[in-house]
Amino acid sequence: MPEPDAPPPAAETAEFPLSTPSRYRAGFVFRVALLASAVFMSVALVFSALVWWRLGDFVAARTDQEIEQEVIEQRANFAAGGVERVAEQARVLEDSGERARLLIQLRERDGTLIAGPRLNFGSPPPPGWSEAAARPPWAHGRIPFRILTARLPDGRRLVVARDVREDRNIVAALSRDVMLGGLLAAALSLAAGWFVSRRIARRLAAVNTAVVQVMEGDLSGRLPLSGSGDELDRLLRLINAMLERLESLMVGLRRVSDDIAHDLRTPLTRLRQRTEAALERPRDQTLDRKEFEGIALEADTILETFAALLRIGQVEAGARMAAFQRFDLSAALAETCDTYEPILADAGGLLETRIAPGLELFGDRLLVEQCVVNLFENALRHGGPSPHVELSAHRRDGVVEVVVRDHGPGIPREELSRVFERFYRLDRSRSSHGSGLGLSLAAAVMRLHGGRIMLDNAQPGLQAVLTFPAARQ
């Protein structure tokens, strides 16, 4: 077990130490960039080998075609002028010396040379295609030749040999250029991969800093966006939305906790004092019953306040959005009015309604009904001895408006903006029953539904206008 006074272990946090090359090389981003560069280099090398192979085939095919064409021409010469004509062509090419790329030999059936240069093949070329190095009289060394030995109609052999030094030099030069281009492209890809990985690593380092800030309790921190709109930006935008949601939840929780700690302290203290006073005085059944009924009423008020605070916290945190669905607002308002019409009649009042049919909303029906109920309760409590309440609902310009109006004294204009604060009550209302949370809950419900609530003095009375976005048809 650790010592009682031992300091708690430090929280582990991920870091991106860009200034440490060894740790940078071990980073995931750099490994990905290196892998991408290796793949690109492999592709470049394979492409170079393919180009070299295809280029060699092309040059060889062109050479063979040239030799075959020469064989066809010499057979035509033989048909036109016999052996003398072919021998003459062989001498012409021989006299061209080093400039001649094609050489012709005329040989007997046994391979003995009749006409043409002595190329010193070592042995007569076999019939068909072959390759051999030879040393013409004008050359200082042996030269590679591509050779085709064909049979003439009289049985003699026609040997056509082509110097392939230039072809091989072309293939070698092009292959070298392609290889150098591939290596250059691979080097550029490695440099580009390094640059991109450094850029991503810097962005991740900034994200790491912001995440550490959030882990340390500062929920106002947000992950930085580059503004490029790439996949990483979209991911970070979603994370920021999650952080905003988390911050709103924590703020709501802190607010509810503060409200419970501060605003329930006075009624709880008063409840304790009344209980202690009842316990200290001599027992009297009538007085005790009256006192305990008052204590029970005080406890009910505290429980109602506590429940209202929790509901406001849930609404402001958006916890009730999971219950959103399309519902018939007209029917919901009619049911609420049916409930309160006899209550107002018993109080000597009147309820007038004008509800357009077919109004629909997308939201939480119970919360919307609670919002309207709170307005009815305010109208009952502050509408005078014979409360007269009017409710109308209609659709206009893509929104649904619900208007609740009473004929009471209204609210002083300087206090209209404060009645939505929690536990705020007008001076004339402090002696009446209530917690001062009804309008706070109504405002939270409207914000949850993307709407708004507005209060105004109707002279006489107070008018509350609830504006909801209408459900899409």
Q: What is the DSSP string of 69-84?
A: HHHHHHHHHHHHHHHH
**Is 29 part of any domain?**
no
Higher pLDDT: 307 or 325? It is 325
Domain boundary among 273, 289, 317: 317
Name residue 284's amino acid: D
Three-class secondary structure of residue 132 per DSSP? strand
**Is 110 part of any domain?**
no
Q: How many residues does the chain have?
A: 473
- Residue 225 in tokens: 């966006």
**Is 308 part of any domain?**
yes
345 and 461 fall within a common domain: yes
330 and 313 fall within a common domain: no
CA distances from residue 33 to 14, 19, 36, 70, 284 in whole angstroms, order as listed: 20, 18, 5, 55, 88
Highest mean pLDDT among 112-121, 207-216, 392-401, 464-473: 392-401
Whether the Cβ atoms of residue 442 and residue 435 lie closer than 8 Å to each other: no
336 and 459 fall within a common domain: yes
461 and 332 fall within a common domain: yes
329 and 440 fall within a common domain: yes
User: Distance between CA 194 and CA 319 in Å, rounded?
Assistant: 46
Three-class secondary structure of residue 380 per DSSP? helix
Indicate the pLDDT class of residue 353, thresholds 50, 70 and 90.
very high
306 and 339 fall within a common domain: no
301 and 335 fall within a common domain: no
Instruction: Give the lowest-confidence range in 68-82, 84-98, 128-142, 150-164.
Output: 84-98
The CATH number linked to 394 is: 3.30.565.10
Mean pLDDT across 97-124: 79
Q: At residue 17, does pLDDT exceed 50? A: no
Whether the Cβ atoms of residue 315 and residue 287 lie closer than 8 Å to each other: no
Question: Exposed e or buried b for every residue in 128-137, given b needs 16+ CB within 10 A?
Answer: eeeebebebe
Phi/psi at 454 (5° precision):
-130, 135
User: Distance between CA 188 and CA 192 in Å, rounded?
Assistant: 6
307 and 347 fall within a common domain: no
**Is 37 part of any domain?**
no
Domain boundary among 293, 317, 341: 317
What pLDDT score was predicted for residue 250?
Answer: 74
> Average per-residue pLDDT in the chain?
78
**Is 143 part of any domain?**
no
**Is 387 part of any domain?**
yes
Indicate the pLDDT class of residue 354, thresholds 50, 70 and 90.
very high
pTM, two decimals, is: 0.46
390 and 275 fall within a common domain: no
**Is 385 part of any domain?**
yes
Domain span at residue 269 reads 264-317
283 and 381 fall within a common domain: no
334 and 292 fall within a common domain: no
Indicate the pLDDT class of residue 331, thresholds 50, 70 and 90.
very high
| Number of separate domains in the chain | 2
User: Distance between CA 289 and CA 18 in Å, rounded?
Assistant: 76
What pLDDT score was predicted for residue 98?
Answer: 54
Nearest alpha-carbon partner for 394 in 405, 385, 403, 386? 403
Whether the Cβ atoms of residue 96 and residue 132 lie closer than 8 Å to each other: no
414 and 336 fall within a common domain: yes
Mean pLDDT across 146-172: 87
**Is 151 part of any domain?**
no
Higher pLDDT: 224 or 71? It is 71
Domain boundary among 317, 334, 355: 317
Model pLDDT for residues 440-454, shown as the tens digit of each residue: 888 888 888 889 999
Q: At residue 333, does pLDDT exceed 90? A: yes
